[in-house]
Structure 1
Amino acid sequence: MIELKSVNKSFDGIPVIRDFSVVFEPGKTNLIIGRSGSGKTVLLKSIVGLHPIDSGSIFFDGRDFTRMSFHEKKEIRKEFGMLFQGAALFDSATVEENVMFPMDMFTEWTLEQKRERANFCLKRVDIINKNQLYPAELSGGMRKRVAIARAIALNPKYLFCDEPNSGLDPQTAILIDNLISEITKEFNITTIINTHDMNSVMEIGEKVVFIHNGFKMWEGSKDDILDADNKELSDFIFASNMAKRIRDYMTK
């Protein structure tokens, strides 16, 4: 579980995250949504410690991250899995080497142990017999699956995903969404996903947090988001012509 209590973050005196409190539960897909510039990326980076917060507290299963020493933060980051926008694989490394990278950084495992773990993770995301290929030889969806394999290489307690469906076609995006959801439940991970993709929200949004101008404006689930009594959220959800047509059809 990850809990934020009254978190504030500003840059050059300009508030970006404002008095933000929320609980993200394990075994669930927790989605942060909001328009560009709303603060969701800053919020995610603040949670993982890339942006030190100005005030408030961030707890990982009761452990106060904001009051930890540098060494303590380094240790807890071993429990993090990161899925970056665009997959962020190393072009000059093979699929296997990409997945083994966190093990090289944070473990003293033997090469055989690393390869065994890499094979397990790749098999879990349905990447078979492609260990020696390079990212350029893979499709966009396959690169994302390799990135997921790398993210779970150290069996993380916490998984952070920044726009995991960026650049994917709708069908492949749904496959990636469902894979993240399955892994979250299978390993009881606390997963936080930054997205503006309403398809992802309706597919796997067990908990959805809407951020607007740095404030938490709404939280709930995919089952009640369409009926939420919040103007800013409704404007965000029904921004596209397709969404407006669906809303008009549903309200006839």
Structure 2
Amino acid sequence: MIRAEGVCKSFDKKEVLTDIDAVFEPGKVNLIIGKSGSGKTVLLKSLIGLHSIDKGKIFYNDRDITVMNNKQIKDIRKELGVVFQGGALFDSLSVLENVKFPLNLFSSMTEKEKTERAIFCLNRVNLNNVENLYPAEISGGMKKRVAIARAIVLQPKYLFCDEPNSGLDPLTSIVIDNLLSELTHEYDMTTVINTHDMNSVFEIGEKVLFIHEGHKEWEGSNEEIMYTNNKALNEFLFSSKLNRMVREKLEKKSEE
């Protein structure tokens, strides 16, 4: 479990996060949603220690990362898998070398063991016989799956994804969503996904945190979100861009 208590973060005297309290549950897909500029990406990066917060605490179970020294933070990062927006693969490395990268940093495996583990993870995300290709030679959806394979290669307890469906077509987005949900339950990870994809919210969002103008505005399940009276959340859900999708989801749920 990950717990944020009173998290505040500012840039150039502008407060981006204000007193965020949130719990991200183990074995579940936890989503952070909100408009662009709401602070959701800053929150995710704060959770993994890429941003130092100004105030508050962030616990991994009972371990507060805000008071850890560099060695302790390095140790806890061995438990984290991260899928960055766009995949963030190394263009000069092959698919296999990209997936092996965390093993080179954090494991004492032999080269043979690293290769076997990397290929196992590639197979797990349904990528076969691509290990010798380079990122420029594969599709956007395949790049995301390579990034997921790299994120799970160390068998993390915690998986973080920043806009994993960004730039993907709707069908490929569903494939990525289903894969992340399967992996979360298969490995009993605490998965935290920053997204604006409403399909992700309704299909895999077991726990949803809505951030509005740097504040926690709402927290609940994807079932509860359909019946919320929260004005800011409803305005977000029924914005002109999302209106049709949300209404279709609501109608489908009501028929069930």
- The TM-score with structure 2 as length reference comes to 0.94
Name stretches of at least 5 consecutive residues in structure 1 with no aligned partner: none
Partner of 1:148: 148
Q: Stretches of 4+ moved more than 2 A in 1?
A: 244-251
The whole-number CA distance in structure 2 between the counterparts of 1:245 and 1:147 is 28
**SS of residue matched to 2:108:** coil
Please tell me whether residue 126 in structure 1 is matched to residue 126 in structure 2: yes
1:37-88: CA deviation from partner (whole Å, max 9, x where unpaired): 0000110111111111111110001111111111101110111101011111
Partner of 1:52: 52
- Structure 2 counterpart of 1:15, one-letter code: E
Alpha-carbon spacing, 1:12–1:118, altered in 2? closer, same or farther (3 Å): same
Identity %: 61
- Structure 2 counterpart of 1:62, one-letter code: D
1:172-191 equivalences in 2 (<5 Å): 172-191=172-191
**SS of residue matched to 1:226:** helix
1:244 Cα deviation from its structure 2 partner: 5.0
- Contact 2:33-2:194 within 8 A present in 1 as well: yes
**SS of residue matched to 1:161:** strand
Alpha-carbon spacing, 1:15–1:133, altered in 2? closer, same or farther (3 Å): same
The whole-number CA distance in structure 2 between the counterparts of 1:103 and 1:244 is 44
Name stretches of at least 5 consecutive residues in structure 2 with no aligned partner: none
- Contact 2:237-2:246 within 8 A present in 1 as well: no
Please tell me whether residue 225 in structure 1 is matched to residue 225 in structure 2: yes
Partner of 2:104: 104
1:5-26: CA deviation from partner (whole Å, max 9, x where unpaired): 1111111221111111111011
Alpha-carbon spacing, 1:246–1:42, altered in 2? closer, same or farther (3 Å): closer
1:133 Cα deviation from its structure 2 partner: 0.8
- Contact 2:32-2:194 within 8 A present in 1 as well: yes
1:89-139: CA deviation from partner (whole Å, max 9, x where unpaired): 111111100100001111222110100100110111011111101111111
Partner of 1:67: 67
- Structure 2 counterpart of 1:235, one-letter code: E
- Structure 2 counterpart of 1:74, one-letter code: K
Alpha-carbon spacing, 1:72–1:198, altered in 2? closer, same or farther (3 Å): same
The whole-number CA distance in structure 2 between the counterparts of 1:104 and 1:246 is 44
1:240 Cα deviation from its structure 2 partner: 2.6
The whole-number CA distance in structure 2 between the counterparts of 1:15 and 1:90 is 33
The whole-number CA distance in structure 1 between the counterparts of 2:223 and 2:114 is 41
- Contact 2:198-2:242 within 8 A present in 1 as well: no
1:8-47 equivalences in 2 (<5 Å): 8-47=8-47
Partner of 2:206: 206
- Structure 1 counterpart of 2:232, one-letter code: E
**SS of residue matched to 1:209:** strand
Alpha-carbon spacing, 1:15–1:109, altered in 2? closer, same or farther (3 Å): same
- The TM-score with structure 1 as length reference comes to 0.96
The whole-number CA distance in structure 1 between the counterparts of 2:66 and 2:242 is 43
Q: What is the CA RMSD across the aligned residues, in angstroms?
A: 1.6
Partner of 1:239: 239
- Structure 1 counterpart of 2:31, one-letter code: L
